[in-house]
Amino acid sequence: MTHAAQGGRDEHDTTCTADEHDTSCTAADTSHMAIGSALHHTMPFFPLARTVWALLLLLSNVMHSAHAITPSSLGEFVKLRGKGNTTVTMPSVGAGSMGGCSPDGPFPGGVPCKQYNATLMYLKNGGRSLHDALSYCNQYGTGQAVKDSKVPRSQVFMMSMVPYHLLGYNNTKLAVAASLDQLQVSYIDLVMVHHRACDISGWPRNVCQMKAFPDVPSSPDGKSSVWPAPACSVTDPTWQTCQDETWRALVELRNDGKIRAIGVSNWQIRNLQRMVDLGLELPATNQVEAHIGYVEDDLLSFCKEHGIVVQAATPLGRSMPDLVKPGADPLVTSIAQKYKKSPAQVSLRFLLDKGISPIPSASTMAYQQENLNLHDFSLTVDEVAGLSRLTPTCRGEWFMGLQKCWADPSTLMCMFKNGSRFHCP
């Protein structure tokens, strides 16, 4: 079994026994076995009866297939690779960043920001997993909401990310220290590398000003800090040195107890395979774009094989209107009506049944409750397959006709000192 032990039956085990202690059998499994057993023991040894028995058994097989639950489905929690042989428990559904705020406290004018209000509401709704990032410039709101909620810190799974302008060994340690301070915590449950590289067009980079980095030059209007490319990307434009140094720093921080689990984002198979080839510790998570209409099954299979949990940061495809609007897509609508759920809930359940952990954003009570109410139903294998074949478009004119909602990380361009460009590894 991989480190990413997941709810439901092991993905490699397609059998189901009638052992009373084996709780992996579904109702459809046991019903199917009962039919077969009864038919076998009562079958007269006559040709016509044999034929009828075979037809009935075939029918039971068809019924079983229609109701079978995807074996890779996630339960309410998923196990992440932790320090040494330990694992870290993460809720399989989390909340993405939910609004603007300031990176550092106190609130301007004493007025709580949107991120604070939405996070506090989410915790009151029973949510216990929060995703944020240093570059979102709103981590103070998240941390203050956790404090004010009175929910014990140990019961809240908190995430952050190291941005690409702070990649490198020393920078990564500074970035995590800044996140710890902004979130007002002594440890972070999961820290991921936000991007493996940055396109050459991204420099210099304007970022919100933070107390942790007072020496970074300001923009002409004085509202932002202007960051140059990290030194490791200048000496090695492939960004692989940046990746390796960042990862080494995260491993050390995890071993020192500042982080419980470490992961990556937007890593492709070739990036993960490089880590395997170098004998590096593999990430606990890989956060990528995933939603109905776009799931990289080859990447998903690779991650499952190596105990890496795939996390979907755009689980609703940036709220694609032809996906989540009631009645917009006939297949999504029919499934939603069958289970008495919303199209958005079907979309999120699709990811769980693919073995992917979604972190949808929602700032209203109703949508947050919908996002948390996903574990009282499961899609059948046929429903997952049907939804996998959909190709909805993403929101916005730039994305019309496309399945992807993010810029494709495979198109990132790096540059040598002589000015020649190449695709970032």
56-98 pLDDT, tens digit each: 444 444 444 444 556 689 999 999 999 999 999 999 999 999 9
Distance from the Cα of residue 134 to its chain's centroid: 17
pLDDT of residue 28: 37
For 12-32, the DSSP string reads T-------TT-TT--HHHHHH
pLDDT of residue 408: 87
Q: Which residues contact 155 (CB under 8 A, 6 or more apart)?
A: 128
In this structure, which topology does domain 77-319+355-375 adopt according to CATH? TIM Barrel (3.20.20)
Q: For residue 130, give the nearest of 99, 170, 107, 162 by alpha carbon.
A: 99
pLDDT of residue 68: 52
Please give the DSSP secondary-structure letter assigned to residue 222. Answer: S
Domains of the chain by residue range: 27-67, 77-319+355-375
Please give the DSSP secondary-structure letter assigned to residue 366. Answer: H
Q: For residue 80, give the nearest of 162, 179, 192 by alpha carbon.
A: 192
Provide the phi-psi class of 239: left if phi over 0, else alpha when psi is between -120 and 50, else beta: left
Q: What is the rounded distance in angstroms from the CA atom of residue 292 to the CA atom of residue 323? A: 8
β 87-91/77-81 pair status: antiparallel
Q: Which residue has the tokens 């991204």?
A: 202
Task: Look up residue 291 and give its two tokens.
Answer: 């939603």
Please give the DSSP secondary-structure letter assigned to residue 135. Answer: G
pLDDT of residue 48: 53
Task: Look up residue 15 and give its two tokens.
Answer: 């059998």
To the nearest 10 degrees (0 to 180), the angle between helices 114-124 and 139-149 is 40
Q: What element of type H or E holds 62?
A: helix 47-67
| Angle, CA 372 vertex, CA 370 and CA 378 arms, to 5° | 85
pLDDT of residue 71: 64
User: Alpha-carbon torsion 9, 10, 13, 14, what sign?
Assistant: positive
Q: For residue 279, give the nearest of 256, 247, 246 by alpha carbon.
A: 247
C-alpha distances out from residue 184 to 72, 142, 219, 343, Å = 36, 9, 28, 36
Q: For residue 313, give the nearest of 127, 161, 101 by alpha carbon.
A: 161
pLDDT in tens, 347-390: 999 999 999 999 999 999 999 999 999 999 999 999 999 999 98
pLDDT of residue 400: 60
Q: Which residues contact 388 (CB under 8 A, 6 or more apart)?
A: 292, 295, 354
Q: What is the rounded distance in angstroms from the CA atom of residue 12 to the CA atom of residue 15? A: 9
C-alpha distances out from residue 100 to 107, 116, 232, Å = 12, 9, 31
Regions of the chain short of the pLDDT cut 70:
1-71, 319, 395-401
Q: Three-state DSSP class for 175?
A: helix
What are the residue ranges of helices labelled H in 279-364?
Answer: 297-305, 321-324, 330-339, 343-353
Q: What is the rounded distance in angstroms from the CA atom of residue 127 to the CA atom of residue 361? A: 12
> Do 377 and 338 contact (CB within 8 A), yes or no?
no
> Do 113 and 141 contact (CB within 8 A), yes or no?
yes
Entry pTM: 0.83
Share of the chain above pLDDT 90, in %: 72
Q: What is the rounded distance in angstroms from the CA atom of residue 140 to the CA atom of residue 160? A: 12
